Amino acid sequence: MNTIDFLVRKDSLGDTELREAPAPPLAAGQVRLAVEQFALTANNITYAAFGEAMNYWGFYPAESGWGRIPVWGFGSVVESQHPDVSVGEKFYGYYPMSSSVVLQPVRPSPAGFFDGAEHRAALHPVYNNYTRCSADPFYTPQTEDVQALLRPLFMTSWLIDDFLADNDFFGAGDGGLMLLSSASSKTAYGTAFQLAQRQGIEVVGLTSAANLEFCRSLGCYHRVVAYDQLDQIAPGATCVYIDFAGNAGLRRAIHTRFANLKYSSSIGGTHVEQLGGARDLPGPRATLFFAPAQIKKRNAEWGADILGQRLLQAWRGFIGKVCDPAAPWLVVEHHVGPDAVKAAYAAVLGGRGDPRVGHMLSLAKG
Ligand SMILES: NC(=O)c1ccc[n+]([C@@H]2O[C@H](COP(=O)([O-])OP(=O)(O)OC[C@H]3O[C@@H](n4cnc5c(N)ncnc54)[C@H](OP(=O)(O)O)[C@@H]3O)[C@@H](O)[C@H]2O)c1
């Protein structure tokens, strides 16, 4: 059996290569999964853009200069040398852009396992966890695409909303504005979906001119404004900046214009060509949002069961809206086979596609 890897140059994300090689034999305790399908969004491009700084390349090492971008998706066990993981079982988790992967299950439970590979030991456990689909309350076979595309993003969206509410919107809860950049991104609109259910705040999407109509069509933003129309928002507005774009120029413009900016939360970096530091800005310090800290806090306060139930309930409400056949927020396109994966990657990296489209990829030969 051969395995196919999709490699990108770490210092030049547009340079890619497909490599096919014999799959390595399994050692005792290891399992091989066929990576059946995975999602590719700007989130994965951000993993690559911050691959060195935040060690995203560390999950699936490749030869010098090259990296394998981690992706969220589904794999099924095709070979097992582990007593608690059987051939045929399906797992949701963090895979490489490859046709198969070798994992080393540790801490097996009815819910799944963690990959115990030595090179992953220092990486955050949330990424090392593989969830057994047969025991996963989020899983249904009909919603695999939506789970791969939206589940990791929506968990963050939910936590951002929870974090802001938990902090009384940093003093902007009484009629203030929540300004979300890259409003057309899935993580931003998931956040807007949650925020729009709160009282006393106005949810304002900021986006590129080409994506204005898409954002307006969703109905989760009270207002949507193009990046070059910030002057439509009163400079004295009390507001919070929730930044998915990471665009240094936009961040500076917002910090400069809004004298009553109460908090500035850095979530992402979709604008890969305009990323930049946040030093010497007027107003509050731009603060990196760290989702695991909010999970830890809520786990301690509510317990894992209650937190899990709230997430599941919110997820069901969200995908009900996203998948409403009368007006879907997301239309899935499948790209099967090495050449199709290469083309889809180039399109997502370019970032100018239709924001309504979600790309599902598979390196199984089409
Ligand atoms: N910190 C965390 O824990 C965490 C968790 C999840 C996601 N995130 C981050 O949230 C961001 C959104 O991720 P997503 O997967 O939800 O995105 P997505 O749905 O794929 O977003 C697509 C949108 O991003 C913008 N965009 C993408 N590529 C671009 C490019 N090359 N140039 C300019 N604009 C581009 C465009 O929006 P506009 O025209 O509206 O700008 C585009 O419509 C990512 O940076 C991701 O890493 C962070």
Q: What is the DSSP letter of 167?
A: T
- Which CATH number do you get for residue 10? 3.90.180.10
Within this chain, do residues 27 and 126 fall inside the same structural domain, yes or no? yes
Which atom belonging to ligand 1 lies closest to the Cα atom of 269?
Answer: 45
Q: What is the pTM of this model?
A: 0.97
Which ligand 1 atom is nearest residue 42's CA? 20
**77, 209: one domain:** no
Q: Verify that 156 and 261 share a domain, yes or no.
A: yes
Mutate to test the pocket of ligand 1, among 185, 194, 213 (most ligand atoms within 8 A of CB): 185
State in Å: Cα 246 to ligand 1 middle: 9
pLDDT (0 to 100) of residue 1: 85
For the CA of 159, the nearest atom of ligand 1: 3
- Which residue's alpha carbon is nearest to atom 31 within ligand 1? 351
Atom of ligand 1 nearest to the CA of 353: 43
Three-class HEC string of 106-138: EEEECCEEEECCHHHCCCCHHHHEEEEHHHCCC
Q: What is the pLDDT of residues 56-108, one digit of tens each?
A: 999 999 999 999 999 999 999 999 999 999 999 999 999 999 999 999 999 99
30 CA to centre of ligand 1 in angstroms: 35
Q: Give how many domains the chain has, as a whole number.
A: 2
Identify whether 324 is part of a domain: no
CB-based pocket (< 6 A), ligand 1:
41-43, 46, 153, 156, 182-187, 207-208, 211, 244-245, 267-272, 289, 291, 351, 355
Test site for ligand 1: of 270, 348, 357, 361, most ligand atoms within 8 A of the Cβ:
270
Verify that 111 and 54 share a domain, yes or no: yes
- Among 271, 293, 315, the domain-final residue is 293
Per-residue model confidence (pLDDT) at position 228: 97
For the CA of 41, the closest atom of ligand 1 is: 20
3-class secondary structure, 97: coil
Contact between 355 and 184 (Cβ < 8 Å)? yes
Q: Judge residue 294's burial from the number of C-beta atoms within 10 Å of its C-beta, 0-12 exposed, 13-18 middle, 19 or more buried.
A: middle
Considering the domain architecture, whether residues 158 and 289 belong to the same structural domain is answered as: yes
Would 345 be classed as within a structural domain? yes
Residue 348 lies in a domain: yes
Residue whose CB lies within 8 A of the most ligand 1 atoms, among 126, 149, 182, 225, for a mutation test:
182
Atom of ligand 1 nearest to the CA of 47: 47
Query: Is 34 in the same domain as 101?
Result: yes
pLDDT computed for residue 365 by the predictor: 65
208: containing domain: 151-293
Cα 152 to ligand 1 centre (Å): 13
Q: What is the pLDDT of residue 93?
A: 98
Residues of the chain with pLDDT under 70: 365-366
Ligand 1 centroid–CA 365 distance in Å is: 28
Tokens (6 digits) for 322: 């996203």
d(CA 233, CA 214): 20
The domain that holds 281 is classified in CATH as: 3.40.50.720
Of the three residues 293, 310, 343, the one that is the final residue of a domain is: 293
Domain presence at residue 114: yes
CB within 8 Å of 350: residues ≥ 6 apart: none
Which pLDDT value is given to residue 364? 83
Atom of ligand 1 at shortest range from CA of 267: 1
- 182 Cα–ligand 1 center, Å: 6
> How many whole angstroms separate alpha carbon 112 and alpha carbon 363?
24
* C-alpha of residue 185 to centroid of ligand 1, in Å: 5
Q: Please tell me whether residues 88 and 217 are part of one structural domain.
A: no
